[in-house]
Amino acid sequence: MRVFSYIGLEIKCFTDVDEVFDAAINIHNIKKCFKVVNECRGLVVDADSLLRSVFFNLIDDYIKHRKIVSQIKLSSSESENLVQIIYEDNGVGIPDDIRKKLFEEGNGRHTGYGLYI
């Protein structure tokens, strides 16, 4: 995919995490079927537009690979100059053999960039 050739090249700007996450949720229209908990209201981070792709890919993967899931949750943790954005669901999880390479470039069933970014 062409968008992934720009990883690390785009200028970052202040981005409202809540707004970007809600946009990804609305594109997939999953609020009707599952509980969505967003604890990142008011959180602004310095990010490029790939943050939108990250949320879109996580939700898309959730829809494709879900078994028994009733909730998606987005939260954050802050320490000094670091903000961690935490995405989780209450599904069955990812098998250990897949999880070990999950965030490496080229791993995955489609382009191999979804979780890598």
pLDDT tens-digit series, residues 15-62: 999 999 999 888 877 767 778 899 999 999 988 888 888 888 888 877
Q: Are the C-beta atoms of 31 and 37 separated by less than 8 Å?
A: no
The model's pTM: 0.73
Q: What is the dihedral of CA 115, 96, 65, 70, to 10 degrees?
A: -100
Q: Where are the domains of the chain?
A: 2-99
Q: Mind listing the pLDDT tens digit for each residue in 7-28?
A: 566 677 899 999 999 998 888 7
Backbone angles phi and psi of 3, in degrees to 5: -60, -30
Fold of 2-99: Heat Shock Protein 90 (3.30.565)
Helix axes of 50-65 and 17-28: crossing angle, nearest 10 degrees:
40
